[in-house]
Structure 1
Amino acid sequence: MLYRKIGTQKESLELSVITFGAWAAGGWMWGGTERKEAVEAIQKSFDAGVTSIDTAPIYGQGLSEEIVGEAIAGIPRDKVQILTKFGMRWDLQKGDFGMHSKNNEGQDIDIYKYAGKESIIKECEDSLRRLKTDYIDLYQIHWPESTTPIQETMEAVAQLIQQGKVRFAGVCNYNVEQLTEASKYVDIVSNQVPYSMLKRDIEAETVPYCLETNKGILAYSPMERGLLTGKIKPGHAFEENDHRANLPFFQEQNLLKINEFLDSIRPIAEEKKASLGQLVLRWTIEQPGITIALAGARNAQQAVQNAAAMDINLSTEEIQGLNAQLSDLLARL
């Protein structure tokens, strides 16, 4: 496993370049979860060198954080990095309306984006309780929201850092303007954003800014919600409540084009005795400005496979060749 640091020379946080993404572990929007398998996936991932875990209260409305807390109970706390978030409430109608959804019991819930100070303080306490820990390594606002000044939000996080409940502050889904504003009130060490072979828009502004200001980029959905593993073929039947069924990349005409591309790069993976997913993960963390890649797993086998992506190497020529093929694909999607 490789490890990279975010933060300053004086104080930094070292993360495994493959970080366990625990959204699917919470079941919500993924058609349910099997708790025992999720716990084992995290533990086997750690055994394979993945020391960093990214979760959020909204994932299963607390369930993902509880599963993470259970999974790391026997691991020395300073050997694992917990990344969690705040700013999405399913139990409070305040802030920006986010979406209608259903919880894991099939009940209707309304989700709001809200990052007022009193809400952040409460959310932090709730997360600490569910995670069974007394501090969070990286605390990230989940989405921007328009009803609370960024100053109020970030000063609340700065207060939590002063109190020792949080070590580092990060953001998710922020643009350059929002990053610049947030950095006035607390040291923002990272931005967690969607990035994959199919979704590269952050390369225009976010990547250059983060490189210039020494901020880490945590790439989420690097395998585009499982699509780039090559296991989702045209005609795939999604489970009920699986959010992917309605996403553009998963529509039939795009599935055909994407699977053609994956078939064309499969020989590279086979030559390296790797899966497509491992090839994709390795490509991701080799891109300029990308610090780590978040990879989810529903079971231990998937988790170990994700970690093993760091056992393969890609040459500069191979990366350039993949990028050329990607440019052609993206022009056709």
Structure 2
Amino acid sequence: MDRVFVTGSAGFIGFHLSRLLLEEGHAVHGYDGMTDYYDVALKRDRHALLHRHDGFAATEAMLEDAAALDAAIDAFAPDVIVHLAAQAGVRYSLENPRAYVEANVVGTFNVMEAARRRKVRHLLIASTSSVYGANEEMPFRETDKADTPLTIYAATKKATEAMSHAYAHLHDLPTTLFRFFTVYGPWGRPDMAPILFASAIAAGRPINVFNHGEMYRDFTYVDDLVRAIRLLIDVPPVRPASPAEVPAGDSLSPVAPWRVVNIGNSDKVRLTDFIDAIEEHMELKAVRNLLPIQPGDVPATWADATLLQRLTGYRPQTGFRDGVARFVAWYRDYYGR
């Protein structure tokens, strides 16, 4: 059984991954700053469920606090670090860009330094599909250029990809980045579309539908996402002997034990169809406020998950209608609406 250090363990994805690892019998140490970007009570409820497992412990501190992070990692002595903590939210990055640089760049640097010092077997870091930016050819492939980020959020994530490659090359640190697509499901963030939509529909408030509903997203159910991360833990990249040894279509670096992997459902879903599914399971109709596309938004995202399947034998497969049904059931139970 592995000892896995998970940053952002009280967050949406970190909670689900930690729970999966604990159910498999691994020891997990969580690290979370419990920031008030959204309701801290939700984060504490997630951690409370994790604390029911004997194999879980946690430290509450910020990523930018290098001394606290080092102390927690040294005390736990992990085999693997999964770095999921970040300042999230594309739209909030328009209002408070400095928070993204501090958490996503400085915080990730601190994690990489600790991983280098501890010589962990595998460092895994969350990136985002937002790094594809203005790319228009879809589905997005890991080998596509990703040089046109449209928000500071995307730019900071692209920066962490570049920094981690340098660390992998310089220190022979096996590192996997994963680019998440639109993740949803139970215990989701209140600032994300599914809860914003469900809350407004339950209260009879209008919902904002950008680009007049002509938005397409690769909606990925959270259980599928964390299953993919769990399988990638066991596939640390190996530095190739020569560039010629990098398989076609693989994002493996020719000069480092480093790889980036898409995790998505490989299916673009129209936003209005996703809203229709929420309406169906809530048995309520939404009042739709149709708006233009927002700065930094892109009209569509769509993952090519071929590399994930090649590496792990797995690819996300939960259809959005089934996923929405599970999300709405949790929403009603948790919020009592």
Which one has more relative contact order, counting CA pairs under 8 Å at least 6 apart?
1
TM range (shorter): 0.3 to 0.5
TM score, norm. by length of structure 2: 0.33
